[in-house]
Structure 1
Amino acid sequence: MELVAAADSDERGLSLLKVVNVLQKVVVFVHTFTVDKLRSQLTRTASEEMPHMSEDIIEAKVREICQELVLSPEVLKEVCDCLQEEINKGLAKDSHPEATVKCFPTYVRELPNGKEEGRFLALDLGGTNFRVLLIEFSSKCRMDSKIYAVPQPIMVGPGDGLFDHIAECLASFIKERNLGNELLPLGFTFSFPCKQEGLTKARLAQWTKGFKCEGVEGRDVVELLKQAIARRGDVQIKICAVLNDTTGTLMSCAWKNRNCRIGLIVGTGTNACYMEKLEKVELWDEVIDDPPQVVINTEWGAFGDNGCLDFVRTEYDNNIDSESVNPGKQLYEKMISGMYMGEIARQVLVRLVSEGLLFGGFASDILLEKGSFFTKYISEIESDKSGDFNNCRAILEELGFNDATDADCANVRHVCECVSRRAANLTAAGVSVLLNRIGEESVTVAVDGSVYRFHPHFHNLMVEQISQLVKPGIKFDLMLSEDGSGRGAALVAAVASRCAAMR
């Protein structure tokens, strides 16, 4: 009986194995068939239509499809009105908890006056590397810095381990430069989501960028750094301020330009800060004394998360959001920033191919891959001179299109222009709201970020649109800010030290 039972068991096992093998083959067949069918459908219908359309008709259809990316003056005005309302919600006590544009007070109330002097340290932590800087302000700014790695085990280990590592690198930096006998003020740029509770107090809301150090979320990161420095006992450091890179961008520019009141980042992500009157900040629980102002960190990337921007969002925006790691979050940022611009353009290009309007209706395997059209391609394609498609052709060859016509290149460029112009116009709408809130006759906007730095027309597109949206009589200037996370952090420390000395 035992032998029979064993034989039955073996037969059942073999039968089950055969079933599994058959199912695996079916899955592979269905997947291959589905992908091949999708590609053939994407190209067959289009290629049949292509011979019946002239280049003029194709160009007109391309422009018609791209029209939903073009924002009219009326739509941009409505965007401005929506952002104004959301900022008011963020600044008000009752509505702040539910507000999407949080508008956190940074507790930075003074801007540089250009007379800052002395030596200051800056610590810039925002990724897998961090910088320590020694910055000396006099008539000029002299800077010495060193980059340190954050090893993977430390990124995911205990929180004390991370801050002990930072303290060790700080101590090494100070000793290498024979600064051990000085009590040096330090500005700490900590580019992770925080709730700021004072100039030197910020609680980590959540880790991002691959960090998962235990025991840090919900705690004051400045206090954790102080404790790590104290455990060593071999260096003297006075932490004067903690800030994010947007505030640093504002401070770095304000050191050179006394009219600077806004800091703007347009890079992988987007954010803005601005100088607000304390009387408009219900969140301010402290005494309203001089100066009656505070820099507000808007966190405006989340603008639209409550649905108020649905009237400008497209099918491409919906697709990108649904496939992102944070669906329903940072919707304004997803229409503007370098993280997403290339993918928006790719989705438009795939649609144009599917309708027989590009490349004879045939899509390359590379173009069909998510993320294959990099945002840098947009800047490079738009850098071509009018009628010249050298960069465009080189990029299309990378994507598997070796025989693109001039008409194809012109239409690809048009898609890129629509995507980047929309991003610039939406950013301009946000800046216009801040300029109108500040209400001063002449305001400089400090700007940093890879999109603003490297796109050949982003600056001019923003200036053109802000001019249409800002109140009459307000003059503005956009100024590239240098090293906000480094020099800006040192300047916050310098201003804090100056104010403390005056008291």
Structure 2
Amino acid sequence: MAKDLVNFKIREECEVLQMSDKQIKEIMSRLHTDLKKGLCKDTHDKATVKCWITYIQDLPNGKERGKFLALDLGGTNFRVLIINLGENHFDMQSKIYAIPSSIMTGTGIALFDHIAECLANFMKEHNVYNERLALGFTFSFPLRQLGLTKGILQRWTKGFSCSGVVGEDVVQGLKDAIARRGDVQIDICAILNDTTGTLMSCAWKNHNCKIGLIVGTGSNACYVEKIENCDLFDGVPGKKELLINTEWGAFGDDGALDFVRTEFDREVDNSSINPGKQIQEKMISGMYMGELVRLALVKFTKAGLLFGGQGSDLLFTKGCFYTKYVSEIESDKPGDFTSCMEVLEELGLSHATESDMAAVRHVCECVSRRAAHLVSAGIAALINKMDEPRVTVGIDGSVYRFHPHFHTLMTEKIATLIRPGITFDLMLSEDGSGRGAALVAAVACRQQEGR
């Protein structure tokens, strides 16, 4: 059996990556406390889990109709979509546009002018150039919202450094660029992040969807909270709920997760571009999972426990063990190491034995299981806080989508952590952040029309 092939010493060393149920419940308790801090006016400024107000108070109800635009900006490419909503009918077309590196590091004016030009070209291509359309804007950078159509950029991430945008309203930046052109009529109805878009997209199909989750390059969650628990919101009379963007990637920035962090976590953090920040995200997300595995493999190789003590240049190079390798290695059936062998050959480790391959897979399993259990602890904490009889969790992101066991690991763990009598299910979002942006615009228009 593969288990017997794994060196006992490696199995022992990997125990630091395994969290007990007692530890997981302690994490849930600490997150619950941090969520309350983020929601409370008196403690919000010092809270690590910010619980930003999204100003979205209504989910889709299926009565949304018409044509809507969506803009999805969150990396080196952005997407423009046009969505046509009818009764039981959903038609969507989209196009991806590149952002040249010169624009990513240039001025904010140049960035928004480029986006506005692509929007105008897209409208021409889809024969809506002369129509006035509502647009939902997904903006997946740290944002402090002051209203449904007002969002102040806190800081750039993902290689962007456009000048004149941090501390400014990004919706106004886009509006100004559209006005400078003067050739298209676009009403920006809402700004949101990818987590919110995921929830809205899933809620259109499933009205029980009350949580949105991203487990991809980064990790974040949003959920539906009762207005009475949202100190920072001056609510619309008659509304009882509000969507909260937790920004839970920062959970642990104050040391709350130190009791389950390992030497590998500390090394990943210390060598990152933002040491001490986004601590939970660095234990969960696709940007870091492969590197956590690599650091463990390096340690075991240097100790003579793996590969006969003979590593390779690639193994010893930061960032060269990709997170996709974790999914590929764990896709092999028990006793089969085909994918593992291919990955190790790619890394210059063709001398690996079957025992080495079993150990590599064990390390991958420990890192990904811990990530799934951390996410599960967070989702269970949200479900218990909401205390609804049935909750669907809308999920997007490459880790959840492509890892062969992530869904099952989450389903099994959440079931043990939520209160008796609550039922839940996990729903993969299709095209979440883009479609969700259009749906936020559609809901805003529905409200104006009183539907």
When normalised by structure 1's length, the TM-score is 0.87
Q: 1:382 touches 1:456 (CA, 8 Å); kept in 2?
A: yes
CA distance in 1, matches of 2:286, 2:129: 42
**How many angstroms apart in 2 are the aligned matches of 1:375 and 1:487?**
27
User: Match for residue 253 of structure 2?
Assistant: 305
Q: Secondary structure at 1:157's aligned position in 2?
A: coil
Match of 2:156 in 1: 207
SS at match of 1:440: coil
Give the C-alpha shift of residue 56 in structure 1. 5.8
Runs of 4+ in 1 over 6 A off after TM superposition: none
- The question of whether the paired residues in 1 share the 8 Å contact of 2:217 and 2:397 is answered with yes
Q: Which has the larger radius of gyration?
A: 1
Any unmatched runs of 5+ in structure 2?
none
Tell me the secondary structure at the aligned position of residue 135 of structure 2: strand
- Name the CA distance, whole Å, in 1 between partners of 2:101 and 2:39: 38
Aligned with 1:183 (options 110, 132, 138): 132
TM superposition shift of 1:57: 9.4
Contact 2:227–2:235 (8 Å) recurs in 1: no
Cα distance change on mapping 1:315 and 1:490 into 2, 3 Å? same
Residue 239 of structure 2, aligned match among 266, 270, 291: 291
Partner Cα separation in structure 1 for residue 341 and residue 442 of structure 2: 50
Q: Which residue of 2 aligns with 1:280?
A: 229
Inter-partner Cα distance in structure 1 for 2:124 and 2:219: 37
CA-CA distance at 1:320 after TM superposition:
0.8
Give, in whole Å, the separation in 2 of the partners of 1:348 and 1:287: 49
State the match for 2:172 in structure 1: 223
Q: 1:444 maps to what in 2?
A: 392
Query: After the TM superposition, which residues 12-91 of structure 1 pair with which residues of structure 2 at under 5 Å, given as runs?
Result: 59-91=7-39
- Cα RMSD (Å): 1.5
Paired position in structure 1 for 2:75: 127
Could you say which residue in structure 2 is the equivalent of 1:241?
190
Alpha-carbon shift at residue 214 of structure 1 (Å): 1.9
Find the aligned partners of 2:398 and 2:321 in 1 and give their Cα distance: 16
> Are the equivalent residues in 1 in contact too, given 2:5–2:359 (CA < 8 A)?
no
Match of 1:415 among 349, 352, 363: 363
The answer as to whether partners of 2:198 and 2:394 remain within 8 angstroms in 1 is: yes
Structure 2 distance, partners of 1:401, 1:172, is 49
More helix by share: 1
Deviation at 1:174, TM superposition (A): 1.6
Q: What secondary structure, in the 3-state scheme, does the structure 2 residue paired with 1:366 have?
A: coil
- The Cα shift of 1:212 comes to 2.1
- Aligned residue for 2:276, secondary structure, equals coil
Going from structure 1 to structure 2, the CA distance change for 1:415 and 1:220 (only over 3 Å counts) comes to: same
> How many pairs are equivalent?
448
Q: Using the TM superposition, give the Cα deviation of residue 147 of structure 1 relative to its aligned residue in structure 2, in angstroms.
A: 2.0
Kept in 2: contact 1:278–1:288 (CA 8 A): no
> What do residues 277-334 of structure 1 show as CA deviations (whole Å, max 9, x unaligned)?
01001111x2352321110000000000001111000111111111111100000000
Q: Tell me the amino acid that sits aligned with residue 299 of structure 1.
A: E
The amino acid that maps onto 2:222 is C
2:90 aligns to what? 141
Larger mean CA deviation between 289-298 and 265-274 belongs to 289-298
Q: Quick check: 1:232 aligned with 2:181? A: yes
Q: Distance in 1 between matches of 2:93 and 2:245?
A: 28
Is 1:93 aligned to residue 41 of structure 2?
Answer: yes
Task: Report the secondary structure of 2:26's partner residue.
Answer: helix
Alignment correspondent of 1:347? 295
Aligned residue among 399, 414, 420 for 2:347: 399
Decide whether aligned partners of structure 1 residues 214 and 403 sit closer, same or farther in structure 2, where only a CA change above 3 A counts.
Answer: closer
Distance 2:235 2:302 in 1: 62
TM-score normalised by structure 2 residue count:
0.97
CA contact (8 A) 2:137 2:188 kept: yes
Q: Which residue of 2 aligns with 1:110?
A: 58
Q: Is the CA contact (8 Å cut-off) linking 2:264 and 2:292 kept in structure 1?
A: yes
The aligned counterpart of 1:314 is 262
SS at match of 2:280: helix
One of 461, 464, 484 as aligned partner of 2:432? 484
* Unaligned runs of at least 5 residues, structure 1: 1-54
